[in-house]
Structure 1
Amino acid sequence: MNNFSGTIPPEIGNLTNLIYLDLRINQISGSIPSQIGSLVKLQILFIFDNHLNGPIPGEIGQLRSLTKLSLGGNFLSSIQASFGNLNNLSLLYLYGKLSGPIPSELGNLKNLNDLGLFYNQLSSPIPRELGNLKNLNYLALSNNQLFGPIPSVLGNLKNLKYLILSNNQLTDPIPSELGNLKNLSLLELSNNQLTGSIPSSFVNLRNLKNLILADNNLTEEIPSFICNLTSLIGLDLLRNILKGKIQQCLGNISSPQYVMMSHNNLSGELPPSNRNLTSLKVLDLGRNNLKGAIPQCFGNMSGHLEVLDMQHNNLFGTLPTAFRIGSALRSFNLHGNRLEGKIPLSLENCQRLEVLDLGDNLLNDTFPMWLGTLPELRVLSLRSNKLHGPIRTSGSEYMFHELLILDVSCNDFMGNLPTSLFQHFRAMRKIDPSKKPPSDDEVGYYQNSIAVVTKGIVLEVVRILFLYNTIDLSNNKFEGHVPIESLDLSGNHLVGEIPAQFASLTFLAFLNLSYNHLEGCIPQGPQFHTFENNSYEGNDGLRGFPLSEGCGNDGHDSVSEETYAGSALDEESNSEFLNDFWKGALMGYGTGLCIGLSIIYILISTGNMKWLPRIIEELEHKIVMGRRKKQRRQRNYRRRNNRF
């Protein structure tokens, strides 16, 4: 990599004695000149990760001495059939923007060891001729638009170690001939439309380390022999229609690191002991039909277990209590079961814990303020349990500093909302652009998900640690005032006018609406008169006090008695409602977040939804009566001042 720019000159064809040409990872643009076909002695050609475009010249088929060719990461438009003439080729990588079919002539490359045509827009069946590539070790056709069945002749590739066909539109059952690939280390067929059962011939895949069949339409029972594959490290069967007893797999599995089988129809009870799972890092069995008590041994496994997801099953009993000091646990999700008892204090030992979701259970406890000491905790969901009592804060300043989602709705919490609790939520006040989600291509990657209620709609949010900031305190028995004194919506793309009701938020000590696209008149009222120019700067369409551009008679020194009286009346009409029912506040929208979602959504209620129509009806009545009262006062004011 030398950061070259410009184009490949046609004169390159004059270098007829050239053996090695490496132009990878530069800023080269334009098309590949046809004269490159004159380099008849060329053995290695690397031009990947540039800005080349146009078709691949058919003249490349003249490079009979070529052993390694990579043109990936460009904007080339098609694969030439002439590639089938490159008889000495051992490595061929073409990834990027290629379209059209896979040429059957590639089956002529008898010396090919590696064939990578991934991340393109190739649209065709997989050519049967690829079954002729007997020396192939690596075949990756993932992330294309390939369709039709997987050719059974791929079972002839006895030297194949990696077969990656994921993220296509492949159909029909998995051919049993793939069980002949005894050297196979990775088989990835996820995110297709494959049907039928897992072939029994897979019992022969004794060297298989990762079996990834997620996101298909596979049915029948999970074959028990899969758990006897002694080399297996990762088993990913997520989101299929598989059924069967779970213990036949977990009881025999040898030394896996990742077992992910959520979103299936698995049943049965979890085995009481899993002594063989000494290397397990991820266990995801959520959204099945599992039943029985949750094994206490999961607490003892926390020294190596990083993810335990059993959400939406029929598990009962109490939570594991023996979480070790130095626990590796990052995500603990038992949402939607029938668990009882208290939240175990030993969870305080899980200092790496990021996600704790115990919602929709029968837990009976007080608020676990001690969880606030966990330095990495980002998600805490305790919704829909039997939690009770006041939420009392600790004297420590270091509580819940990384928390992004807090959901304690639908419990029996009571008393005043602790002001100091909200002051601890430092991570909710800003967006860290350096934090990015892990790559989808990482083998065994587990995606955290959690149910978030927004505007009455339950959404399952994936990658929650990087997108959402949410607080939900609804359906409890909280009292008193909302302990929020700051509203910061700066640095976003908000449009329209500032709602007039904002002037009635008498508890606001700080307001920042700067650098948006707001317009119209700034609402006037006692509280708004305390905010300075910097609260509104960067909004070219705003007018009125405290900005220099006036909005009628709303300048601070020229606010008429009529305007002030009307504003005060609006405050009188709305403040009681806003004090009783503060539906939500949008705080801390981070600048530069391209997805544009950072929400603090606060809901406070009395625990009985029947009050909602009454409050709305009272609000409508107050608004109508307030307008009439305002009109009467304005008429009286005009009469007193002879302004008919």
Structure 2
Amino acid sequence: MSFILLLLLYVTRFDKSMCSNHTTRCNEKDRETLLTFRHGINDSFGRISTWSTEKDCCVWEGVHCDNITGRVTKIDLKPNFEDEPIRYLKGEMNLCILELEFLSHLDLSLNDFDVIRITSIQHNFTHSSKLVYLDLSNSLITSMDNLDWLSPLSSLKYLNLSFIDLHKETNWIQAVSTLPSLLELQLSNCNLNNFIIGTSFKYVNLSSIVTLDLSYNYFTSHLLDGFFNLTKDINFLSLSGNNINGEIPSSLLKLQNLQYLLLAKTQLKGSIPDGIGQLINIKGLDLSGNMLSGFIPSTLGNLSSLNDLSIGSNNFSGEISNLHFAKLSNLDSLDLSNSNFVFQFALDWVPPFQLSLLSLKNTTQGPHFPSWIYTQKSLQDLDLSNSGISLLDKNKFKDLIERITGQLILSNNSIVEDISNLTLNCFDLRLDHNNFTGGLPNISPMANFVDLSFNSFSGTIPHSWKNLKILYHISLWSNRLFGEVSLHFSDLNQLEIMNLGENEFSGTIPILISQKLEVVILRANQFEGTIPPQIFNLSNLFHLDLANNKLSGSLPHCVYNLTQMDTDRVYAWRPATIDLFTKGQDYVYDVNPERRTIDISNNSLSGEVPLEMFRLVQVQTLNLSHNNLIGTIPKEIGGMKNMESLDLSSNKFYGEIPQSISLLTFLGYLNLSYNNFDGIIPIGTQLQSFNASSYIENPKLCGAPLSNCTTKEKNSKTATPSTKNEDDDSIREWLYLGMGVGFAVGFWGICGSLFLIRKWRHAYFRFIDRVGDKLYVTLNVKLNSFLRN
């Protein structure tokens, strides 16, 4: 019994101790510093709402405290990318947070901070900094003037400022060299273009560095031997994306601890030195995208620890065979793309490695599919685009492509195969520009990019495609597919690019479509019915092509909420390639939200064009030709000042062409032919530069470049004055009219009275007689006087 009582007493004291410890955890000084940091943040997503509702700062989101002292030791406010939507912090990043006395870990990366405030940290530090880890990378901070604030952080081992503009900081290398404990330095994409690798490096102390990333700063400098004497313990070095020029220095080969050497896209010249085999610990080697030449040294095959090898996109020559890879048993990733090698792999060669990634794009492999690739059971990403393949082992090929879960890219080959009975499990599928036949394959619900264009697929879209919930790009252009598509795309809410052109799809245009659509191409199918108003409510849409279908009815009279087409706002977008039709011709074009297009030509649309369409001021290509549209061209068309291609031909438009159309100074293609326009073509630099074919078959239309108008037409046109002239003419007409009426009234007022009143008539005649007599007497007197003289 006494044991039980003792146990209960212990539990009670322990519970009270825990409760008491919790209530005293938050240090008031730390709390005030955090609230100062919080003051400049725009927390529109409520990410750190607990910072204002909870008194204990140790339970605030992203804040971690020491269990014993209750002091803040770690702050991690990096956004969680599993959230929907992702909750970014915005506003001001105040580095007063570095004043936290026991802070050892600070991660503010990947947020949307656009301003940074650097207080006089050196003067505010009354203690020795315990900060070990600092990551401010990938925020939206446009510029940081200096790095002097780093000097008190003597314990710092990890520093990542990648994607922060440091071009104003000319002494950054001296600033980071004041950090004696620094092991890892990440300054990728920091615009360090004024950085020069010179002899001064021998006075810089970076001996502790083991990881150095200066990639994509675009500085111009040679790699001097002294640069690689900074530290002999370095195991990760990335200088990719800089203008290094020159050859690979021999001193680099003395870095025996080096595990990763990344020198891609640095304009290196010369050959790979034979001494490359001395880097026995190397795991990752990237020399791609340079101007290296010569043969691949056989010593490359001695790097038995190598996991990742990328030497594509150079000017190498000669053969490459299985002998170069005989000892590379740990190889996991191989990139030989864009190379002129003569590939001499034995037909029965079984590599000593199992790759997860292989890229041989833009190389000569064909006509046979490389047999050794069939042996790669762990392959997740395969790129054999444009490699001349036409022949393959059907069974082995099908097994291989079903196993791939990452990227499967076989574009621009001549593969003929029926894969309709397969289920492809990759998330990125590109089989375009081949000759695949049969029905479409089943595709994994994890797919987000599918391009099967320019093949010979036939049949309908598989029912299973309804499950592609994260698909954002689909291109089935130029196949032999048919059937209705409404049901297949109703649940694809992430879709951004939908290209179904050049097939035989029928039915109506889907009404339930993704609100994220940016590109809609249904060109050259058998779609019928009206155009749903929902199409013109897609705020991200910048390319709409519904041409060459059987659409009828009038254009929707609705709010044209096409934000991309009526403002200069540009949304984030993913690179892709689609087929655009503009300026009277077609061409392949990389998707670019700055190119706005509407093409609904070659249908049976009728009625007037809603005025809202002519208010989409950012549209560059507008094609409404070959329909039954009526009405006049509104003067608002002059506001579409980015217009480069305008085709209204073969409709029933009438009336005069508005003078405002001459404001379209970027117009490179114009077709108004086969309508009922009348009057004279407005005078404008652009309008007269087109030949007569742009205006023909408008019987009442005249003016350059058509034949001259008749005198009557010219007078009629030129008699159309400005508003001011019209007012002046009107006043003049009323003045003349008033004078005429006044004269008539005066004349008949006097003469009528003489005829009607006898007394006035007799008086008038007596007055005339007296005047006559007086004139007679005066004339005789003057005449007699003249004769006497």
> What is the TM-score with the length of structure 2 in the denominator?
0.53
Measured in 1, the distance between the counterparts of 2:461 and 2:207 equals: 61
RMSD between aligned alpha carbons?
5.5
- The answer for unaligned runs of 5 or more in structure 2 is 1-93, 96-115, 123-129, 425-440, 621-629, 643-654, 664-671, 680-690, 722-728, 734-789
Paired position in structure 1 for 2:271 = 149
Instruction: Note if 1:291 corresponds to 2:416.
Output: yes
Q: 1:630 aligns with which of 713, 720, 730?
A: 713
Q: Alpha-carbon deviation of 1:135?
A: 0.8
Q: 1:300 aligns with which of 442, 451, 470?
A: 442
Q: 1:576 aligns with which of 670, 673, 676?
A: 676
Contact (CA 8 Å) 2:536, 2:561: kept in 1 or not? no
Deviations 1:63-97 (A, max 9, x none): 99986566763343311346468666433344424
After TM superposition, the structure 1 = structure 2 runs for residues 28-39 of structure 1, keeping only pairs within 5 Å, are: 29=145
Q: Percent identity?
A: 21
Give the 3 Å change call, closer, same or farther, for CA 487–114 of structure 1 in structure 2. same
Contact (CA 8 Å) 1:145, 1:169: kept in 2 or not? yes
Give the 3 Å change call, closer, same or farther, for CA 126–334 of structure 1 in structure 2. farther
Paired position in structure 1 for 2:355 = 232
Deviations 1:524-561 (A, max 9, x none): x99989x9xxxxxxx9xxxxxxxxxxxxxxxxxxxxxx
Paired position in structure 2 for 1:379 = 519
Contact (CA 8 Å) 2:596, 2:618: kept in 1 or not? no
Paired position in structure 2 for 1:551 = none
Deviations 1:407-466 (A, max 9, x none): 344x4x33635413986774654569573245xxxxxxxx421121221354432244x4
Measured in 2, the distance between the counterparts of 1:342 and 1:481 equals: 29
Contact (CA 8 Å) 1:102, 1:126: kept in 2 or not? yes
Q: Alpha-carbon deviation of 1:101?
A: 0.8
Give the 3 Å change call, closer, same or farther, for CA 397–285 of structure 1 in structure 2. closer
After TM superposition, the structure 1 = structure 2 runs for residues 434-513 of structure 1, keeping only pairs within 5 Å, are: 435-437=571-573, 447-464=575-592, 466-474=593-601, 476-478=602-604, 480-481=606-607, 483-487=609-613, 506=632, 508=634, 513=639
Measured in 2, the distance between the counterparts of 1:151 and 1:277 equals: 40
Deviations 1:117-138 (A, max 9, x none): 2332212112233222121122
After TM superposition, the structure 1 = structure 2 runs for residues 118-133 of structure 1, keeping only pairs within 5 Å, are: 118-133=240-255
Q: 1:347 aligns with which of 478, 488, 494?
A: 488
Give the 3 Å change call, closer, same or farther, for CA 56–393 of structure 1 in structure 2. closer
Contact (CA 8 Å) 2:608, 2:631: kept in 1 or not? no
Instruction: Note if 1:164 corresponds to 2:286.
Output: yes
Amino acid at match of 1:260: D
Give the 3 Å change call, closer, same or farther, for CA 287–219 of structure 1 in structure 2. farther
Q: Alpha-carbon deviation of 1:171?
A: 3.2
Give the 3 Å change call, closer, same or farther, for CA 637–148 of structure 1 in structure 2. closer
Give the 3 Å change call, closer, same or farther, for CA 234–244 of structure 1 in structure 2. same
Amino acid at match of 1:378: E
Deviations 1:215-262 (A, max 9, x none): 444554888899978753433333444434348477554344433332
Secondary structure of residue in 1 paired with 2:609: coil
Paired position in structure 1 for 2:210 = 90
- The answer for unaligned runs of 5 or more in structure 1 is 10-17, 439-446, 495-503, 517-524, 532-538, 540-571, 580-611
Measured in 2, the distance between the counterparts of 1:245 and 1:486 equals: 56
Secondary structure of residue in 2 paired with 1:169: coil
Measured in 1, the distance between the counterparts of 2:711 and 2:373 equals: 72
Instruction: Note if 1:258 corresponds to 2:381.
Output: yes
Contact (CA 8 Å) 2:296, 2:316: kept in 1 or not? yes
Give the 3 Å change call, closer, same or farther, for CA 434–395 of structure 1 in structure 2. closer
Contact (CA 8 Å) 2:518, 2:541: kept in 1 or not? yes
Amino acid at match of 1:321: P
Give the 3 Å change call, closer, same or farther, for CA 224–178 of structure 1 in structure 2. farther
Whichever structure has more helix as a proportion of its residues is 2
Q: Alpha-carbon deviation of 1:358?
A: 4.2
Measured in 1, the distance between the counterparts of 2:463 and 2:673 equals: 55
Instruction: Note if 1:117 corresponds to 2:239.
Output: yes
Measured in 1, the distance between the counterparts of 2:292 and 2:711 equals: 68
Give the 3 Å change call, closer, same or farther, for CA 451–511 of structure 1 in structure 2. closer
Secondary structure of residue in 1 paired with 2:572: coil
Deviations 1:572-630 (A, max 9, x none): 99972499xxxxxxxxxxxxxxxxxxxxxxxxxxxxxxxx9866444597333546442
Give the 3 Å change call, closer, same or farther, for CA 55–292 of structure 1 in structure 2. same
Paired position in structure 1 for 2:467 = 326
Amino acid at match of 2:368: K
Secondary structure of residue in 2 paired with 1:365: strand
Measured in 2, the distance between the counterparts of 1:617 and 1:208 equals: 67
Give the 3 Å change call, closer, same or farther, for CA 269–577 of structure 1 in structure 2. farther
Paired position in structure 2 for 1:520 = none
Give the 3 Å change call, closer, same or farther, for CA 269–625 of structure 1 in structure 2. farther
Alignment length, in residue pairs? 524
Give the 3 Å change call, closer, same or farther, for CA 235–483 of structure 1 in structure 2. farther
Highest relative contact order (Cα 8 Å, sep 6+), 1 or 2? 1
Between structure 1 and structure 2, the one with the greater Rg is: 2
Deviations 1:261-317 (A, max 9, x none): 3233222369474476355243222222222335342442332333233444x5454
Give the 3 Å change call, closer, same or farther, for CA 53–315 of structure 1 in structure 2. same
